Amino acid sequence: MKVSHLQQTAFFASRPSRVIALLVILGLGLAIRLYDLTDLPLDFHPTRQLLSALKARGMYYQNLPNVQEEKRDFAIQQWKRRAAIEPEVIERIVAFTYRFTGEQLWIARLYSSLFWAVSALFVFLLGRELVSIDGALVATAIHLFLPYGIMASRSFQPDPLMVMFMVVYWWAVLKWSRNPASYVFAIMAGVFGGLAIFVKFVAAFFVIGGGLGAVLGRESVQTVLRRPQFHVMTILGMLPGAAYAIYGIWVAGYLGQQFGGRFLPALFLSPAYYLGWLGVLNLVAGGAVLSLALMGLLFLDGENLRFMLGLWVAYALFGLYFNYHISSHDYYSLPLIPIVALSAAAVGAHVFTSLASRPQFRLAVMMILSLGIFSSLWSMRAQMKSIDYRPEAQMWTEISQLVGDMNIAGLTQDYGQRLIYFGWKNSTPWPTMGDRAYHNDLRGARGEFEKQFEEIALKKELFVVTDFDELNLQPWLQKELETYPVFAQGAGYVIYDLRAADSQ
């Protein structure tokens, strides 16, 4: 049975019931993201979140009056020295807001949550175009309540903003494909598609995939190419990202070496790559929801099916190109969530169509749905409440005060960024086992370890250890450090004194 607007009897038949259902879903989706708002951004990929936090702080301190010049210089230095692959859009928005609120990390969490809520609204509008009101509500709920999506979409990184622009673009380009004479939707699609790519270049896969799926769903390539609206949309979509790439590569020069290491052909022969990607799919969407989403394609036909296939093919090509990151950086699959949600909408629409013909079960259905949503949100609330990261700020401040002005190396979380941000202290990070595997280096050779220890550690005065799980994976480092006296230690850290003459 194919989904058709004409065939469906809506479960949410009245306009007030639809509005109330949508507002409840959006409200709960935003509320769970704002829970524990002021906790530190260490709950989800802290390395990436702290990268943005350090950039935003540097921007904020650059023009902050009545601040120590030493702190200003340090903040700006940490901002400038960090890689800039994509434009610092979310960081600048947060830094601007700091002018009114002061430096509050929760500002970024608030913005990301709002971006995701807006994207959910356009997922609803897309679902309504593709299937029905009932299916659109299902898609919105999946987009907002997937556990992984809740954590990822409130993180301090550009991805939630990228997804918002991307989903708005999908809606606009789909509307344009159904009214190709409209310049309004063509311009909207071009602007928001261009903004998505500008925020993060990887969005180009999903912009192109969604665009091809939409515009080729009704007309031939020749017909589309003859439409001036198509060229307006294409130019607007290309300009922002192209301008930034040209500036970053040929003018400023800082993008030249930032695109390497993302496509590794050797991984195609590695089963670990495919198993890792499968693990990411299970983490991001879950096996059951992913199966429903793929099944939903069977309930679509015509232009709607081609549009959704365009999005799925875009994700597949994206994963094949970014083959290292797709299996190791799960947040690279964040754009999959709206794709899964829209695909599953077709199944949801079919189920609700069947239920609509049984009004005696309406109350039971509402109770079951409410129980499911409440259980999911309560579980996420418990997960957020289980760990309080706020005390870590004090620990890093304590370490910073202990080491003072001495030069340090360390095996600490997030390549020393927690010490940099919360302790205002720089350190030289000791590589993790993951770094060694990625760079195909230090293959257990004792001589290589000694050379690296001499180059990194012995040029410093102190060695800080806070990541003890990682230390246990490096027995040579652990054994070497035990030959040095302990300079200081406390809850969560040990500092070794590398200056001792009798340490060898």
Give me the DSSP letters along 137-163: HHHHHHHHH-HHHHHHTTSSSSHHHHH
Q: How far apart are CA 26 and CA 33, in angstroms?
A: 11
pLDDT, one tens digit per residue, over 407-453 is 999 999 999 999 999 999 999 999 988 777 665 543 344 457 888 89
Q: What is the pLDDT, as a whole number, of residue 290?
A: 96
Mean pLDDT, residues 123-128 taken together? 96
- Shared domain for 326 and 192, answered yes or no, is yes
- Dist CA 38 CA 106 (whole Å): 5
Residues 143-156 have pLDDT tens digits of 999 999 999 999 99
Same domain? 57 vs 98: yes
Query: Does residue 13 register a pLDDT over 90?
Result: no
Based on the domain organization, do 417 and 311 belong to the same domain?
A: no
Q: Is the domain of 432 the same as that of 295?
A: no
Say if 7 falls within a structural domain: no
| Total tally of structural domains belonging to the chain | 3
pLDDT in tens, 222-260: 888 899 999 999 999 999 999 988 888 887 767 755 555
Look up residue 422 and give its two tokens. Answer: 């919360």
Does residue 3 fall inside a structural domain? no
Torsion angle of the four alpha carbons 298, 300, 306, 309, in this order, in degrees rounded to the nearest 10? -40
130 is a domain residue: yes
Residues 196 and 131 in one domain: yes
Q: Answer with the one of 110, 130, 153 that is the final residue of a domain.
A: 110
Pair (394, 416) in one structural domain:
yes
| Confidence band, pLDDT 50/70/90 cuts, at residue 355 | confident
Mean pLDDT for the stretch of residues 32-48: 96
As a whole number, mean pLDDT of residues 129-146 equals: 95
Q: Which two tokens stand for residue 194?
A: 């261009």
pLDDT > 90? residue 10: no
As a whole-number percent, the residues of the chain with pLDDT over 70 amount to 93
What pLDDT is attached to residue 335? 97
153 and 292, same domain (yes or no): yes
Least confident piece of the model among 86-90, 221-225, 377-381: 221-225
What pLDDT was estimated at residue 438?
Answer: 61
pLDDT category, 203, cuts 50, 70, 90? very high
User: 347 with 271, same domain?
Assistant: yes
The string of DSSP letters for 87-133 reads --HHHHHHHHHHHHH-S-THHHHHHHHHHHHHHHHHHHHHHHHHT-H
Do 375 and 419 lie in a common domain? Answer: no
Mean pLDDT over all residues of the chain? Answer: 90
Q: Which residues are bridge partners to 465 per DSSP?
A: 411, 494
DSSP characters over 18-80? HHHHHHHHHHHHHHHHHTTTTS-S-SS-HHHHHHHHHHHHHHHHHT-SS--HHHHHHHHHHHH
Amino acid at 179: N
Query: Does residue 28 or residue 6 have the better pLDDT?
Result: 28
pLDDT at 2 over 70: no
From 110, 128, 162, the end of a domain falls on 110
User: Where among 363, 385, 407 does a domain terminate?
Assistant: 385
pLDDT at 15: 80
Q: What is the pLDDT of residue 473?
A: 93
**Inside any domain, residue 190:** yes
Same domain? 206 vs 264: yes
Instruction: Kindly tell me if the per-residue pLDDT of 6 is higher than 60.
Output: no
The H or E element containing residue 349 is helix 336-356
Residue 440's pLDDT is: 52
Global pTM reads 0.92
- DSSP bridge partners of 429: 410
Same domain, 186 and 224: yes
Is 504 domain-assigned?
no
User: What gap in Å lies between CA 220 and CA 210, rounded to an integer?
Assistant: 16
Residue with tokens 């202990």: 402
* Non-local CB neighbours of 307 within 8 Å, separated by 6+ positions: 130, 174, 177, 210, 213, 214, 217
Q: Are residues 349 and 453 in the same domain?
A: no
471 inside domain: yes
| Minimum mean pLDDT range among 21-35, 205-219, 411-425 | 205-219
The alpha carbon dihedral of 84, 102, 48, 333 has a sign of: negative
Give the residue-averaged pLDDT of 262-267: 79
Residue 461 lies in a domain: yes
* pLDDT-wise least confident of 49-53, 346-350, 391-395: 346-350
Domain of 85, in residue numbers: 46-110
Whether 291 is in a domain gets the answer: yes
Residue 162 has pLDDT above 60, yes or no: yes
pLDDT at residue 1 is higher than 50 = no
**Range scoring the smallest mean pLDDT among 85-94, 128-137, 229-238, 441-450:** 441-450
Q: What is the pLDDT of residue 350?
A: 87
